[in-house]
Amino acid sequence: MDRQGIFDYAEKEYGSFPEYLWENDATSAVLRHGDNKKWYALIMNISKDRLGLADTHKADVLNVKCEPEAAGILHMTRGIFPAYHMNKRNWISILLDDSIDEALVLDLLDKSYELTLNKKKGKG
């Protein structure tokens, strides 16, 4: 799955559009909720060695939020790493190089969206 596929999915499912927030970085984009403005995904183009790989070529990476218990298990999956430039306990980085099945990428994006929703507090 590539970045455009993720952007298309986010628009269709959540009405989200990529936001390019950094003046000096035209490739990094966030996806966030319309109501609470919380990020649920970040796509960056980084050198693979920043993920601990022995490769300096650049690649797109998708950061998504996940439950800490799931992060440890997911790190054992080829193409999933502790989050680059985010809290490594609650976020993971997914290398967008077709090493991860598209369905898994979208499931993780959906879970990140759910985890970053506003939680309504119950009474009493």
Q: Is the pLDDT of residue 50 over 70?
A: yes
% pLDDT > 90, the chain: 73
Task: Give the phi and the psi of residue 99 in degrees, each rounded to 5.
Answer: -80, -20
pLDDT of res. 76: 83
CB 96 within 8 A of CB 2: yes
- Kindly provide the residue ranges of all beta strands, DSSP E only, lying in the chain, ordered along the sequence: 29-32, 39-47, 58-65, 80-82, 91-95
Residue ranges and CATH numbers for the domains of the chain are: 3-115 (3.90.1150.30)
pLDDT tens column, 66-81: 998 898 888 888 899 9
Q: Residue 124: pLDDT band by 50, 70, 90 thresholds?
A: very low
Q: Is the pLDDT of residue 122 over 70?
A: no
What is the reported pTM?
0.90
Which residues are within 8 A (CB) of 69 and not within 5 positions of it... i.e. 6 or more apart? none
Q: What is the chain's Cα-based Rg?
A: 14
